[in-house]
């Protein structure tokens, strides 16, 4: 055990600090501080030694240099069991420092606020980061508290152990300190790395999960889920739930009109847009009521009691909405295991990444949206006005469907989809079969494909099933064959020039 006799305190955030300062004073610990923290301690009527009185130097360069001095860092870095170190302390009149409490300038918050570059640069901490590394390096003798989230733990430790700390405790705090400093440096590097020369990411928040995709796989979510969703109730969110939730909100973000979607294994099995939410729900469900069982439900509209009553007839895992009527929420919460979320995301990440082989793949998020204005009619027959809207709807859905993907739509409703097939023809046949199974007529419906048709066989199969309009990116060496077939049989087809693979 190591007794704390002296403490250096220099923090940006003063909240939650008062109980610790008072407890250190009660224990007879000498307090050393500077700047605003020193003033804070004085206001508590507690004696405090100014760093300047130890170093014989004032804070200079507008406060950029305060603690960077051998009499401070020597007191932190000295090895208590090293005779030569102790002799040098005596020679240069340097006092040992047993506890360092320091946090860092809010660099990430300053960047996020949209501040100008000068303000951001000033929030790159120099003295604080140096104090953290020094104290953490010398954890055998010094306790480092590097984040205010540790204050409660420190306070309890001081009270329960009367100001003494064990080696194991100091090492734990040191590990957390190096994590804090590493995270801070990563944020600074990423601010400067406009060319993305190196892949660096640091996420401090960890949410343990029961297991991964399967029960034999360990898993965790790294991130602060509370920034995206308010969890109103239900069982613990699982690995697979998170994948489905991500897919669901990415899909619903494409729609501005009142829309309801049902997803299973990251793919939509039902989605519809209607002026009234309950009608959107009914139409979405009718697309594939079998797959909807145990699915993920998402809407972009405040959820009312009438819709909640209709939904309550089905078992589902997760519900996501921007808000809920009180009566609807009361009904929904009667199922204790049902996960109910409020979507409060303000923006989405600009990048996506995934681990692969011995590295990481990074790409821009697919934010491309090809509306009516980007549709190039390539056939003699142009889509009808209502078909144009359906083509835009179908394209939004197929963009978020596992490749190879085909989506069939009519009247702003998903009739069926072919998902994750090894050929486009197989995806189309799967979609047609599913539409037939649930009596969803394909007459005068539209078809969307996530990539081009290499041959005319897909449009031929579509035509024979009653589909009359097609949207695809184009770009095949045999595009003319598909165009000619459509012209011969009175079908319309538009190109977007943008592929939407999703693997």
Q: Which of 5, 22, 265, 384 is catalytic?
A: 265
Query: Hey, is 61 helix, strand or coil?
Result: coil
| Count of CB atoms situated within 10 Å of the CB of 45 | 7
Structure tokens at 479: 């595009």
Q: Of 274, 223, 280, which Cα lies nearest the Cα of 246? A: 223
Distance, in Å, from the CA atom of 82 to the CA atom of 500, rounded to the nearest integer, reads 64
Q: Which of 5, 14, 22, 137 is catalytic?
A: 137
Told to judge if 265 belongs to the known catalytic residues of this protein, a careful annotator would answer: yes
Q: Which residues pair with 298 in a beta bridge?
A: 261, 320
Query: Hey, is 305 helix, strand or coil?
Result: helix
The DSSP secondary-structure symbol of 336 reads: T
Query: Hey, is 352 helix, strand or coil?
Result: strand
Q: What's the half-sphere exposure (Cβ side, CA atoms, 13 Å) at 89? A: 19
Distance, in Å, from the CA atom of 195 to the CA atom of 500, rounded to the nearest integer, reads 25
Distance, in Å, from the CA atom of 246 to the CA atom of 240, rounded to the nearest integer, reads 10
Phi first, then psi: what are they for 473, rounded to 5°? -75, -30
Q: Distance between the two ends of the chain, CA-based, in angstroms? A: 55
Distance, in Å, from the CA atom of 225 to the CA atom of 290, rounded to the nearest integer, reads 30
Distance, in Å, from the CA atom of 386 to the CA atom of 143, rounded to the nearest integer, reads 69
The DSSP secondary-structure symbol of 172 reads: H
Backbone conformation region of residue 497, classed left if phi is above 0, alpha if psi is from -120 to 50, else beta: left
| Alpha-helix runs per DSSP H in 202-302 | 239-252, 277-287
| Count of CB atoms situated within 10 Å of the CB of 236 | 12
Told to judge if 159 belongs to the known catalytic residues of this protein, a careful annotator would answer: no
Distance, in Å, from the CA atom of 76 to the CA atom of 94, rounded to the nearest integer, reads 10
Give the active site residues: 137, 265
């Amino acid at each position: 055990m190591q007794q704390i006799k002296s403490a250096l305190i220099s923090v940006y955030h003063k909240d939650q600090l008062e109980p610790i300062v008072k407890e250190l004073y009660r224990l007879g610990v000498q307090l050393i501080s500077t700047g605003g923290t020193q003033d804070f301690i004085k206001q508590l009527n507690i004696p405090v030694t100014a760093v300047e009185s130890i170093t014989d130097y004032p804070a200079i360069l507008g406060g950029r240099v305060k603690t960077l001095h051998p009499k401070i860092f020597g007191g932190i870095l000295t090895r208590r069991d090293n005779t030569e170190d102790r002799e040098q302390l005596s020679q240069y009149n340097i006092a040992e420092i047993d506890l360092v409490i320091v946090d860092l300038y809010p660099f990430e918050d300053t960047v996020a606020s949209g501040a100008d570059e000068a303000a951001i640069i000033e929030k790159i901490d120099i003295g604080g980061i140096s104090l953290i590394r020094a104290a953490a390096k010398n954890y055998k003798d010094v306790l480092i508290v590097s984040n205010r989230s540790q204050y409660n733990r420190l306070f309890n430790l001081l009270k329960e152990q009367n100001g003494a700390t064990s080696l194991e405790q100091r090492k734990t705090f040191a590990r957390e300190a190096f994590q804090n400093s590493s995270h801070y440096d990563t944020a600074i590097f990423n601010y400067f790395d406009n060319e993305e020369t190196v892949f660096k990411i640091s996420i401090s928040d960890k949410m343990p999960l029961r297991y991964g995709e399967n029960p034999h796989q360990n898993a965790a979510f790294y991130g602060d889920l509370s920034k995206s969703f308010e969890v109103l109730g239900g069982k613990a969110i699982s690995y697979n739930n998170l994948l489905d939730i991500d897919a669901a909100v990415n899909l619903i973000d494409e729609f501005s009109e009142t829309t309801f979607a049902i997803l299973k294994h990251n793919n939509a099995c039902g989605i519809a847009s209607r002026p009234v939410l309950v009608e959107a729900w009914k139409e979405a469900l009718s697309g594939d009521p079998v797959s909807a069982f145990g699915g993920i439900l998402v809407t972009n509209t405040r959820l009312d009691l009438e819709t909640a009553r209709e939904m309550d007839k089905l078992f589902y895992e997760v519900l996501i909405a921007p808000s809920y009527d009180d009566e609807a929420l009361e009904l929904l919460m009667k199922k204790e295991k049902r996960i109910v979320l409020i979507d409060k995301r303000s923006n989405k990440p600009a990048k996506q990444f995934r681990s692969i082989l011995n590295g990481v793949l990074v790409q821009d998020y697919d934010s491309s949206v090809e509306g009516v204005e980007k549709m190039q009619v390539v056939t003699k027959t142009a889509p009808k006005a209502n078909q144009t809207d359906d083509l835009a709807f179908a394209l939004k859905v197929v963009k978020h469907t596992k490749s190879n993907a085909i989506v069939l739509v009519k009247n702003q409703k998903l009739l069926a989809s072919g998902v994750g097939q090894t050929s486009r023809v197989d995806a189309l046949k799967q979609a047609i079969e599913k539409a037939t199974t649930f009596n969803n007529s394909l007459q005068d419906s539209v078809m969307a494909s996530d990539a081009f048709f290499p041959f005319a066989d897909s449009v031929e199969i579509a035509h024979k099933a009653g589909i009359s309009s097609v949207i695809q990116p184009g770009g095949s060496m045999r595009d003319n064959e598909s165009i000619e077939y459509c012209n011969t049989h009175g079908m319309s087809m538009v190109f977007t020039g943008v592929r939407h693979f999703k693997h």
